[in-house]
Each structure stands twice: as structure tokens, then as C-alpha cells.
Amino acid sequence: MSNGWKYAAAGALGGAVISLVFVIGLGAAGVLPIRLSEHARDDAVRGYLLAHPEILADASTVLQARQDAEEAKARETAVAKVGMKAFFDPKIAYVFGPAEAKTTLVEFFDYNCPYCRASVPAMKKFYEAHKKDTRFAFIEFPIKGENSEFASRAAVAARKQGGDK
């Protein structure tokens, strides 16, 4: 074989290998409709995630942001549905403090919400400092499921029985 043929054959073989790598790469990237077995696909995805675990942290952050946005939307929807008057309606809110107060603090809460429980010390401190000049309205907002709804109903029923506030 002459050198010309050797170079041509090497070039053809090299081109074929490059083409094969290119086609397999595009198939794996989803650009070409190359069918990989489910097992091969799972292994490829698993290998990629193990090589780049920061993707999982990023996905978790995105999921948390979506859940936070959904909860915020639920709160906004509830406020829009109920209206401002409800914040001071004793059938809906537990309201106490001076009726003529210029400031009213409204808190939505859920008995099963860890953030609501964590805010209790700050609320107590604020209450002690402002109980003579602020009206307080606490509104049951059971967003954490059936147990939250049950706790909310029990609290409303207890409040309706009267007695000391």
C-alpha cells in the first residue's frame, strides 16, 4: 500500500471513530433519537449525579423555593378571600388589646408549624412591650394538614366557651 492509501485509510478510520463518538455523544445528550436501554440510561444519570453532587443541592434549593412560593401564594389567597375586616372579626380571629390602638399586629399561625412555634418568644417580648398601645389579632391558619385543622378547631371551640382571656 502506498503512503497515500495509508493516509486515506487512516483518515477514513479516524473520521469514522470521530463520527461514532459524535453520534453517541449527541444520542446521550438527547439530540439524536438513539435508544439506550433503561438500565444504561439509569447508570449514566447516576454516574453523572455522583460526579456532580452539587446538582442535588441545587435541585433541593429550587424545590424549597417552589414550596415557599406555594405557601406564600396560599397565604395571599387566604387573605384576599377573607378580606381585611376578618382580621378583627372575633369569629375568625382571636383579638385582644385596646380597641382604639393605632397599631394592630396580625399573626397567622398553625399549631404544627415549627416557624410559628419559633416566633413565640419574640411575640411574647413584643406583647409585653406593647400591650397597652397595640391590638393583637391571631388567626388560625392550619396549612400543615389534618392535625393542624384538628388543633385549630379545638382552639376555636375552647375560645367560644368563654372564660378568661
In the chain, where the domains are located: 3-52, 83-160
Residue 140, strand partner residues: 109
Look over the chain and give the mean of its residue pLDDT values, rounded to a whole number: 78
Tell me the backbone φ, ψ of residue 161, rounded to 5 degrees: -75, -15
Mean pLDDT of 43-56: 85
pLDDT tens digits, 16-42: 445 444 445 555 555 545 566 777 778
pLDDT tens digits, 84-122: 777 777 777 888 899 889 888 888 889 989 998 899 999
Work out the burial of residue 19: count CB atoms within 10 Å of its CB; fewer than 13 is exposed, 13-18 middle, 19 or more buried. Answer: exposed
Pick the CATH number of 83-160 from 3.40.30.10, 1.10.1740.10, 1.10.1660.10, 3.40.50.300: 3.40.30.10
Q: What CA dihedral angle connects 69, 72, 73 and 77, to 10 degrees? A: 180
Euclidean distance between CA atoms 83 and 140, whole angstroms: 15
Instruction: Report if pTM > 0.75.
Output: no
